[in-house]
Amino acid sequence: MTKYFNKKMQKFFLFFAHVHFFLYLCAQISANMNIEFAKEGITRARVLIERANHIVITTHMAPDGDAMGSTLALFHWLSEICGKESVQVIVPNAFPAFFNWMPGAENILIYEKEQAKCNALTEEADLFVCTDFNDPKRIGPIGEKLIASSAPKILIDHHLHPMDFADSVFSFPQTSSACEIVYRFIRSMDSGINLPVATCIYTGLMTDTGNFSFNSNSCELYEIIADLLRAGIQKDAIYDAVFNQYSTDRVRLTGYALYRKMRIFPEYHLSLITLSADELDQYHYQVGDTEGLVNMPLQISNVYYSVFMREERPKPGTPKPRIRVSFRSQGDRPVNIWASEVFHGGGHANASGGELFGRLDQAVQLFEKTFPKYIKKEGK
Ligand code: 5GP
Ligand code: MN
């Protein structure tokens, strides 16, 4: 009897051990993403860089921390470590003032403000390095210059389905950020990093993961951070510079938006915040003041989807206001299809954006009409 029992127990433990080991392997596979750059890809990019004398680095409209970090890290690497003499970062439009402290930010050209200078530089360029976007449409009018140019292009990005416009593509949608790929790109070239490169890379890792609260499960990410710390980054100071330097108006605008303007649709676990151009004026809105606002309703336990709409006054030549729409979600609840099919945008499954030209109330009507199609009703 005891013998029989022991055998049964042995079998049970063996089975349990196998299941446990399988689960452990699964966890290891998801924690180690195994991002390997093909040798030929790196060799080709190296040749393109070696041959280039006039390099333009560019990124998407409304640059965020990852866009700023990835372009500026490459700027420092190419000029200070690779010794390139003419390297210029051009961004399509203004970036938030809370990135002014970033090393090299003072050298960035903003296309919207200095078109002639930017056009001359893009015409002269013999290499473009593009980061953090998958479609030339995402970089506004520079996109047309980019496509028209015969100069080679390197793309470093983490969005799904990159368009076929670059000669050398490093696209890894499973990574945390474009900055992570820039880091891996530099290291794959057996190259070193300096403090400005490391600081810029850390900024993108931090902002694109919500200070390591999403897309940040890979242990390799923390190995990269350890390397950046060894290079001398002041991690806590970078957090402080980005997240603790807001104006009073910005914080009050956030309070107003959450208190007065947030609507919850409990059956759909959905939140909507809208801010009109008049409301933004009341709080002396500056570029970047609503950055991160769309994530806040997700702090509510039963809210899994959040949408934020911001009205921009019509620009000269465009009769209608532009409604900028941001989408966020948690878990297996994609919002990118909704963003692309209804709001002319797209993005990641859990973080997307789009736009609409029209009145804010029309955008809200469209939202109300379409969310039941794109959001599945769930229990509590
Ligand atoms: P945000 O809400 O922060 O402006 O955008 C979130 C994410 O959505 C971005 O990182 C980007 O991947 C994507 N995204 C934003 N706007 C657009 C857009 O107009 N088109 C596409 N394809 N993606 C967008
Ligand atoms: Mn990014």
DSSP 277-294: HHHHHHTT--TTTTTTGG
pLDDT of residue 19: 46
73 φ, ψ (degrees, to nearest 5): -60, -45
> Ligand 1, from 66, 138, 312: best to mutate by most atoms within 8 Å of Cβ?
138
The candidate with the shortest Cα–Cα distance to 195, out of 224, 228, 239, is: 228
Cβ distance 86 to 55 under 8 Å?
yes
Question: pLDDT digits over 269-280, tens only?
Answer: 999 999 999 999
CA of 170 to the centre of ligand 2 (A): 13
pLDDT at 21: 41
The mean pLDDT of 188-217, rounded to a whole number, is 97
Q: Give the nearest ligand 1 atom to 135 CA.
A: 22
Q: Which of 128, 178, 136 is nearest to 154 (CA)?
A: 128
List CB-based neighbours of ion ligand 2 within 5 Å: 66, 132, 177-178, 208
Which pLDDT score is estimated for 282? 98
Give which of 37, 271, 35, 66 is closest to 154, Cα–Cα: 37
CB of 317 within 8 A of CB of 350? no
Reported as a single tens digit per residue, the pLDDT across 354-374 is 999 999 999 999 999 999 999
- Lateral strand order in the sheet of 322-329: 262-265, 270-275, 305-312, 322-329, 351-357, 346-347
Taking the centre of ligand 2 as the mean of its atom positions, its distance from the CA of residue 327, in whole angstroms, is: 15
Span 315-332, mean pLDDT?
93
Dihedrals phi, psi of 319, to nearest 5 degrees: -65, -25
Grade residue 336 by pLDDT with cuts at 50, 70 and 90. Answer: very high
The percentage of the chain sitting over the pLDDT mark of 70, rounded to a whole number, equals 91
| pLDDT above 90: percentage of residues in the chain | 88
How far is C-alpha 87 from the chain's CA centre? 23
Q: How confident is the model at residue 25 (pLDDT cuts 50, 70, 90)?
A: very low
| Number of the ligand closest to the Cα of 343 | 1
Helix axes 235-243, 195-208, angle to 10 degrees: 60
For residue range 112-138, what is the model confidence (pLDDT) as tens digits? 999 999 999 999 999 999 999 999 999
The secondary structure element, H or E, covering residue 159 is: none
Q: How crowded is residue 4: how many other Cβ atoms within 10 Å of its Cβ?
A: 8
Does 296 have pLDDT greater than 70?
yes
Handedness of CA 325, 342, 336, 179 (dihedral sign): negative
Ligand 2 centre to CA of 343 (Å) is 20
Integer Cα distance of 89 and 63 in angstroms:
12
Ligand 1 is surrounded, with C-beta below 6 A, by 138, 159, 326, 345-348, 351-355
Task: From 322, 323, 341, 352, give the residue whose CB has the most ligand 1 atoms within 8 Å, as the site to mutate.
Answer: 352
Distance CA 338, CA 251 (A): 30
**How does DSSP assign 285-345, residue by residue?**
--TTTTTTGGGGGGGSTT--EEEEEEEEPPPTT--SPEEEEEEEE-SS---HHHHHHHHS-
Average pLDDT over residues 284-292: 97
